[in-house]
Structure 1
Amino acid sequence: MGIRINNMEQVVELTEVGEGIIQIKMQDKESKNTFSQALTAGLMEAFNHVKNETKYKVVVLTGYDTYFASGGTQDQLMKLTEGNSKFTDFDLYSLSLNCPIPVIAAMQGHGIGGGFAMGLFADFVILSQESIYTTNFMNYGFTPGMGATYILPKKMGIVLAEEMLLTAKKYRGEELQARGIPFPVLRRDKVMDYAYELAATIAEKPRVSLVTLKDHLVGEMRQELPKIIEEEVKMHAITFAQPEVKDRIKTLFGN
């Protein structure tokens, strides 16, 4: 459906799926949508394209099959333990927040760690009943990053956010729905239809009005987030330095 604009090295596909509606599809099947170099570059290129193209009014951000986004790669996490990089080296977490037009995160598949946090920064979030959603940072022994300590309480409420961040448990979408999260949670095969219908409703509005209203609605978040990111980086400097963290990443990654 629509016209492929650029295959972004085939791991990020940018497609017009309706008038004023642009879809960004993450499909790095080799890495299962972890933040590989190719996926990272593709996402940044895609959002930059959207930013510079004034015919678009709304973005649908989605994944492939049973994966939405899976967070950092094992190699990236190991580099963090060595102090050779920071998650802020590539600002994936606020791409949706800083996008001038509304973004719909159609999380039809699993959202893991930073991948789940990235999705929550969208203006609209749709989950699937069957998929797993987790902020699993603490399973590896290090504190959450990617703005997770800010966006989870903001979007899901402090009680559930603390539980998810501190325990690092896995939750099916239907479990989160039963906990009263404020997002639609649908069968996986219904998520995209819902997202396209929502996008079409948004795209009926004038772009200038959409941009102006989004600037107003998320202005406070855009101002507050950098301070939170600074604090998360400081916590990483402490927690990634623990020897057991490197061992956990080696043995537990992907489980």
Structure 2
Amino acid sequence: MENRDSDFRESHLAIHDGIAVFTHANPTHRNALTQALRQDYSEMIDRVRTDDTIKALVLTGSGGSFCAGADIRAMRDRITGVTPERDAGDAARGRILRLHDWLERLRGLEIPVIAAVDGPAFGAGFSIALAADFIVASRTATFSMVFNRLGVLPDMGAIHILPRLIGLAKARDLLMTARPVGVEEAVELGLVYQVCDPSSLINAAMELAGRFALAPQPAIGLTKRLLSRSFDMDYGTFVDMEGCAQSACATSADHRDAVLRFLDRQPARYDWDRMASEHAARASKEPA
């Protein structure tokens, strides 16, 4: 597949061999979630959703920072009246609703999403990382629900998502203290899937994304969809959804191929352990 690169306002999208890499590209301001970057996310997600050749999405930052949080300069301008708002309260509510418009679409992508985190993932940056299915972090990564330091509550769904990932007591700690969390603690909390050196971060994220290239797309997508809703429905409703989802998978080409391969004693196309071993073997042969 050919390379397909696109420059947005404060980001860059590269698509190669079925993997899309979306890079926050405003390192001077530590890739803060500005209005421009929010618009970039909305447009990027629309493109990824409509491109069937994309099998996985990697989110990352540039200049040693994933995303240091909200745009504090814009906050200052609103507070000081540089950019006056007709109704500040309603305007703030509108910003949150517009933000969730693309954030929910990001969480709803039916492909694996991997956050490759280097340096700070603070506030909004932490929330974006939480929207991913896997977090690959460098040894210099730091996470913080910094919102309370600014006199606001954690938004972007963090209060809803974090306790479901790490439990209520641990989530209460991170959400209310706003303290920074290093990569070792993030691993202990179950937030980080893999840790690597900063120099190998993107390669590690790309390798993980590449292992989904042969994954059965209907099954992966529907697994994500059911997982995201499983905490919010009763068991009977879940079983109904499971039945509908499985009926779609059972009639897919991926299922047919997998069954016939098994009966013909052929290796499965999607075998996580085998693909990991093959990658390790290739890496061992590459010059240092």
For normalisation by structure 1, the TM-score amounts to 0.77
Distance 1:43 1:221, change over 3 A: farther
Where does residue 84 of structure 2 map in the other structure?
Answer: none
Displacement of 1:218 in angstroms is: 2.1
Unpaired segments ≥5 residues, structure 1? 224-255
Q: Is the 8 A contact 1:128 1:174 kept in 2?
A: no
Distance in 2 between the 1:75 and 1:5 partners? 30
Alignment of 1:161-172 (within 5 A): 161-172=171-182
Larger-Rg structure: 2
Distance 1:100 1:184, change over 3 A: same
Structure 1: which amino acid aligns with 2:54?
Answer: Y
Unpaired segments ≥5 residues, structure 2? 81-87, 234-288
Aligned length: 221
Distance 1:120 1:144, change over 3 A: same
Where does residue 85 of structure 1 map in the other structure?
Answer: 92
Tell me whether 1:65 sits opposite 2:63 in the alignment. Answer: yes
Distance in 2 between the 1:72 and 1:37 partners? 9
| SS in structure 1 of the partner of residue 212 of structure 2 | helix
Alignment of 1:5-154 (within 5 A): 5-9=5-9, 11-17=10-16, 19-78=17-76, 79=78, 82-83=88-89, 84-86=91-93, 87-91=96-100, 92-154=102-164
Distance in 2 between the 1:181 and 1:32 partners? 22
Where does residue 187 of structure 1 map in the other structure?
Answer: 197
Encode CA deviations 1:118-142: one digit per residue, 9 max, x unaligned: 1111111122221221001111222
Q: Which moved more, 1:68-77 or 1:96-105?
A: 68-77
Distance in 2 between the 1:102 and 1:80 partners? 39
Distance in 1 between the 2:79 and 2:159 partners? 18
Distance in 1 between the 2:51 and 2:4 partners? 15
Where does residue 183 of structure 2 map in the other structure?
Answer: 173
Distance in 2 between the 1:213 and 1:12 partners? 29
Distance in 1 between the 2:122 and 2:134 partners? 18
Displacement of 1:207 in angstroms is: 2.6
1:213 maps to which of 208, 215, 223:
223
Distance 1:198 1:188, change over 3 A: same
Displacement of 1:107 in angstroms is: 1.2
Distance in 2 between the 1:5 and 1:182 partners? 28
Displacement of 1:95 in angstroms is: 4.0
Distance in 2 between the 1:144 and 1:80 partners? 19
Distance in 2 between the 1:179 and 1:208 partners? 30
Structure 2: which amino acid aligns with 1:44?
Answer: S
| SS in structure 1 of the partner of residue 137 of structure 2 | strand
